[in-house]
Amino acid sequence: MRHLLVLVFFCGIVLSVRPVSAWNEVGHMTVARIAWDKLSDGERSAVVAMLSHHPHLHELLLKGRPAHVAQNEWIFVRAATWPDSVRPPRQHHNEPMNSHSIHRFHHPTWHYANFEYRAGQRETALPDHTLPHAGRVLPGTGHSAPDHSSLSHSAESHTAESTDIIEQLDHSWQIIRGKEREYSRPEIEFGQPEIRAIRLCWLMHLTGDIHQPLHVATLVDPRTPLLQHGDEGGNKLAVRINQTSAPKKLHSVWDDLLGNNPHFDRVVQLAERITHDPQFAESRLPEFSSHKYSWEFAEESYQAAKEVVYQNGQIRFVSWASVESREVAADDVPVIPQPSLDRAHVVAHRRIALAGYRLSERLKYIVSRDNTRPLSAGVADSPAGSSVPMRRFVR
């Protein structure tokens, strides 16, 4: 019986390994549902009309719609999960992705930025530059894919993969508004309506991603071999949430703070619970009115990573690799103190609320203007002669 329990435990660990994503489906759908509630009927219809041109409308955006959920509402909330839906599964790692009808849209580096946090540092401002991961460096970039199956086989190496979440969130915003041209593959192969629909999904998704603290921070400690090049947003660290739970990656703990049940009705309840909580009202979130730029959203998440996720450098953990190899027993994996876990839940709900409010604000701006005008030849906001947009901070 003991051997059986050990086998079940380690099977659970293997099955828990999944692509790096900010929040899970519940989190991204909740962000979208909060935004949906803030839009008027006309604004909702305008956004869905844009999404209706998406090349995966029937394959992914409409897939699994419950009978009692209106089609427009389902398309809207599922659009926020689309960039995670196109991630290649493990078994495709030897197959070319650039010809796959779905997985070729996967852009691993767009989901995160590696801003260094050193245990014990007092500075909470966003560092000037991001760090590469310790894993495989993407050609021609300062970034690398984390040592994880979902990020180790990008469709192909092109200039778009040298960018990160801040740049791509801003670039998506500009493309949707007709201010910049698309430069990425395979998106560039499509017409303007399809490109706008694809980028709208990225805008919705990355607005959620950038509010997840572990998508902008990496814990660095030169004295510890495991952390010399960063912890890959918590993916190298193993913790437990209580004395009886199995070890989890720290990143996964944060992904799952809002729960694991993506049932639509549960998402609606969660969104309403968050927006009806007085502490998460727009008027009680001063950063909502004072911060309008993507880098400011990232700086908020960086501060939360420092103070709440990494507990100002005091977090206790073991390496995930040592748990997988069974060098460290499950019972020896540190448990996150309950006060810290309680604070994490509050911060996660606050970040989700801010993401939803900010998404609705940007969508309102988009649909209030004429976004169907084709971009004139030669017009671009990126530097002359460059196919990659410079880092710019746009509202």
pLDDT, average across residues 350-364: 98
Residue tagged 């089609």 (tokens): 71
pLDDT band at 162 (very low <50, low <70, confident <90, very high): confident
The encoded tokens of residue 303 equal: 């501060």
Residue 150 has pLDDT above 90, yes or no: no
205, HSE (Cβ side, Cα atoms, 13 Å):
28
Residue 17 has pLDDT above 60, yes or no: no
pLDDT > 90 fraction of the chain, expressed in percent and rounded: 70
Please give the pLDDT value at position 1: 43
Residue 125 has pLDDT above 80, yes or no: yes
**Phi, psi at residue 177, to the nearest 5°?**
-85, 0
Spatial CA neighbour of 156 closest among 167, 145, 166, 147: 145
User: Could you give the CA distance from residue 54 to residue 152 in angstroms, rounded to a whole number?
Assistant: 26
**Phi, psi at residue 248, to the nearest 5°?**
-135, 155
**Predicted confidence (pLDDT) per residue in 112-124, tens digit:** 999 999 988 888 8
Residue 393 has pLDDT above 50, yes or no: no
Residue 3 has pLDDT above 70, yes or no: no
234: left (phi over 0), alpha (psi -120 to 50) or beta: left
CB atoms within 10 A of CB 225: 9
Please give the pLDDT value at position 96: 67
**Residue ranges of domains in the chain:** 24-89+102-129+159-367
Please give the pLDDT value at position 136: 28
Q: Please give the residue that has the higher pLDDT: either 133 or 347.
A: 347
Please give the pLDDT value at position 386: 32
Please give the pLDDT value at position 101: 83
**Predicted confidence (pLDDT) per residue in 41-93, tens digit:** 999 999 999 999 999 999 999 999 999 999 999 999 999 999 999 998 866 55
Q: Compute CA distances 289 → 62, 172, 213, 278, whole Å.
A: 34, 22, 20, 17
User: Could you give the CA distance from residue 145 to residue 112 in angstroms, rounded to a whole number?
Assistant: 10
| Average pLDDT value over all residues in the chain | 83
pLDDT band at 158 (very low <50, low <70, confident <90, very high): very low
pLDDT, average across residues 302-319: 96
pLDDT > 70 fraction of the chain, expressed in percent and rounded: 78
Residue tagged 């009978």 (tokens): 67
**Predicted confidence (pLDDT) per residue in 220-276, tens digit:** 998 889 999 999 999 999 999 999 999 999 999 999 999 988 999 999 999 999 999
Please give the pLDDT value at position 163: 85
The CATH number assigned to the domain with range 24-89+102-129+159-367 reads 1.10.575.10
pLDDT band at 365 (very low <50, low <70, confident <90, very high): very high
Residue 151 has pLDDT above 50, yes or no: no
Residue 371 has pLDDT above 70, yes or no: no
Record the pTM. Answer: 0.84
pLDDT band at 22 (very low <50, low <70, confident <90, very high): low
User: Could you give the CA distance from residue 126 to residue 120 in angstroms, rounded to a whole number?
Assistant: 15
